[in-house]
Chain A
Amino acid sequence: MAKKHTNQAAFILKFILLICIQQITTFTIAQSTTVKQLKIGKSGENVFASDYFDGKIFYCSDKKVKSKKGIVNEYNQNFLDLYSIEFNLINKVLGTEVNLGPNINSPLNEGPIDFNPTSGKGYFSSNRIDSVTTELFLTLFQTTMLNSELEKRVQLFKEEYNYNIAHPTISEDGLILVFSSDNENSKGQTDLFMSILDNDKWSNPVAISNINTEAVETFPHFNGNILYFSSDRPNGNGGLDIYRSQFKNDLFSDPEILDQPINSQYDDFLFIPINETEGLLSSNRNNTKDKIYHYKIDLPQPNNFVEINDNFCFSLSDDGNIDSTRFKHVWHTGDGTTHIGKTINHCYKDTGIFYVKCDLEDTQTGLKDTSFISADIKIDIHTPTIQATIEKNKIRLNADQRYSNINYSNYYWVVNDKIIMEKNPLVSIENKNAIVKLILWQEKDYDNAIGVLKKLTLKQ
Chain B
Amino acid sequence: MKKLVLFIFILGATISNCSAQAVPAPEENIPFLVTFGKDAKKSYGDDDYCQTFFFSIPKSFSKPFYIRIFDPETGGKHDETYKYSDSETTFSLYGGKGCVSEKDARETNPIGNFKSGNLLHNKTFKNESKYDDQWYTIGPLSPSQGEYSDEYFGYVFKLICQGTKGDDGNLYRYFLSTSATDNIPISGGNAFTFEYSFRLNASNNQISHIYPFVDDNVISIKQTNFDFDNDGSIELSSVATKGYKLKMSGDNEIAEDKYTIVSKEKGTSLDIQLIKGSRKITNNNVVFFVTNQYGEALPFFAVPIGGTPKYAGKLTIKPVQK
Please indicate the chain B residues that have their CB under 8 angstroms from the CB of A369 in the complex: 310-311
- Asked if B305 CB lies within 8 Å of chain A CBs, one says no
- Given the interface pairs A313-B322, A372-B310, the reply to whether A323 lies near B316 with Cβ below 8 Å is no
A360 engages B242 (CB within 8 Å): yes
Cβ of B307 under 8 Å from chain A: no
> Residue B321 at the A interface, CB < 8 A?
yes
* Partner among B312, B313, B320 whose Cβ is within 8 Å of the Cβ of A314: B320
Instruction: Check B317 for interface membership: any CB of A closer than 8 A.
Output: yes
Kindly identify, within residues 306 to 340 of chain A, every residue whose CB is under 8 Å from any CB belonging to chain B.
Answer: 309, 311, 313-323, 326-327
- Which residues of B are found within 8 Å of A347, using beta-carbon distances? 322
Contact partner of A320 (CB less than 8 A), chosen from B205, B242, B319, B322, is B242
A459 closest partner in B (C-beta): B321
Among A316, A319, A323, residue most surrounded by chain B Cβ atoms (within 10 Å): A323
User: Which residue of B is nearest A317, CB measured?
Assistant: B316
Contact of B312 among A309, A320, A323 (CB under 8 A): A320
Q: How distant is A131 from chain B, measured CB to nearest CB, in Å?
A: 67
**CB under 8 Å from chain B, chain A span 327-364:** 327, 345, 347, 358, 360, 364
Q: With a CB–CB cut-off of 8 A, which chain A residues contact B235?
A: 323, 326
* B240 interface residue (CB < 8 Å to A): yes
Interface centre among B313, B319, B321 (most CB of A within 10 A): B313
A117 to chain B, nearest CB (A): 36
CB closest chain-A residue, reference B275: A364
Q: What residues of B have a CB within 8 angstroms of the CB of A309 in the complex?
A: 319
Contact residues in A for B310 (Cβ distance below 8 Å): 369, 372
B312, A372: Cβ atoms closer than 8 Å: yes
Query: Which residues of B228-247 have CB atoms within 8 Å of chain A's CB atoms?
Result: 235, 240-245
CB–CB A320/B317 < 8 A:
no
Query: Which of B262, B275, B313 is close to A372, meaning CB atoms less than 8 Å apart?
Result: B313
Query: Quick one: given A311-B322, A323-B243, A327-B242, are A358 and B313 in contact (CB under 8 Å)?
Result: yes
B318 at the interface (CB under 8 A from A): yes
A206 at the interface (CB under 8 A from B): no
B265-322 interface with A by 8 A CB criterion: 275, 310-322
Q: Which residue of A311, A322, A345, A457 has the most chain B CB atoms within 10 A of its CB atom?
A: A322
> Are A365 and B314 in contact, with the CB atoms below 8 A?
no
Of chain B, the residue at the smallest CB distance from A345 is B320
Contact, CB under 8 Å: A327 / B313: no
Taken together as a complex, chains A and B put the C-alpha atoms of A375 and B243 apart, in Å, by 23
How many residues on the B side are at the interface (Cβ–Cβ under 8 A)? 24
* Residues of chain B with a CB closer than 8 A to A321's CB: 240-242, 244, 262
Report how far A315 CA is from B320 CA in the complex, Å: 6
Contact A318–B318 (Cβ < 8 Å): no
With A and B bound together, what is the CA distance between A322 and B243 in angstroms?
6
Q: Is A373 an interface residue (CB 8 A)?
A: yes
Out of B205, B243, B312, B319, which one reaches A327, CB within 8 Å?
Answer: B243
**Is A377 part of the contact surface with B, judged by Cβ < 8 Å?**
yes
CA distance A240 to B148 in the complex (A): 104
A457 vs B322: C-alpha distance in the bound complex, in angstroms?
11
Report the bound CA distance from A375 to B244 in whole Å: 25
A446 to chain B, nearest CB (A): 31
Q: Please indicate the chain A residues that have their CB under 8 angstroms from the CB of B207 in the complex.
A: 365
Contacting pair A375 B275 (CB below 8 A)? no
Q: How far is the CA of A415 from the CA of B239 in the complex (A)?
A: 48
- Distance in angstroms from A11 CB to nearest chain B CB is 57
B321 engages A320 (CB within 8 Å): no
In the complex, chain B residues 73-132 whose Cβ is within 8 Å of any chain A Cβ: none
Please, how many angstroms separate the alpha-carbon atoms of A326 and B232 in the complex?
Answer: 14
Q: In the docked arrangement, what's the CA distance between A313 and B321, Å?
A: 6
Tell which of B242, B311, B316, B322 touches A319, judged by Cβ atoms closer than 8 Å. Answer: B316
Interface string of A31-74 (1 = CB under 8 A from B): 00000000000000000000000000000000000000000000
Q: In the complex, A99 Cα to B314 Cα: how many Å?
A: 77
**A276-316 interface bits toward B, Cβ cutoff 8 Å, 1 = contact, 0 = none:** 00000000000000000000000000000000010101111
Q: How far is the CA of A318 from the CA of B311 in the complex (A)?
A: 11
Given contacts A313-B322, A315-B320, contact A323 B315 (CB under 8 A): no
Q: Complex formed: what's the CA distance from A375 to B241 in Å?
A: 19
Contacts of A314 in B (CB 8 A): 317-320
Provide the residues of chain B in CB contact with A318, threshold 8 Å: 313-316
Contacts of B262 in A (CB 8 A): 321
Residues of A within 8 A of B244 (CB): 321, 323
How far is the CB of A197 from the nearest CB of chain B, in Å? Answer: 42
Choose from A316, A345, A364, A457 the contact partner of B315 (Cβ within 8 Å). Answer: A316
Q: A311-B322, A364-B275 are in contact. Are A319 and B314 (CB under 8 A)?
A: yes
Query: Which A residues lie at the B interface, using CB under 8 A?
Result: 309, 311, 313-323, 326-327, 345, 347, 358, 360, 364-365, 369, 372-373, 375, 377, 457
Known A-B contacts: A309-B319, A322-B242, A358-B313. Give 13 more (CB < 8 A): A314-B319, A315-B319, A316-B315, A318-B316, A320-B313, A320-B314, A321-B262, A323-B245, A358-B315, A364-B205, A369-B311, A372-B311, A377-B317
The 3 residue pairs across chains A and B that have the minimum distance between CB atoms: A323-B243, A321-B241, A320-B314
A-contacting residues of B (Cβ < 8 Å)? Answer: 205, 207, 235, 240-245, 262, 275, 310-322
Show 16 residue pairs from A and B whose CB-CB distance is below 8 angstroms, ordered by the A residue: A314-B317, A315-B316, A315-B317, A316-B316, A318-B313, A319-B314, A321-B241, A321-B262, A322-B242, A327-B242, A327-B243, A360-B311, A360-B313, A372-B310, A373-B313, A375-B317
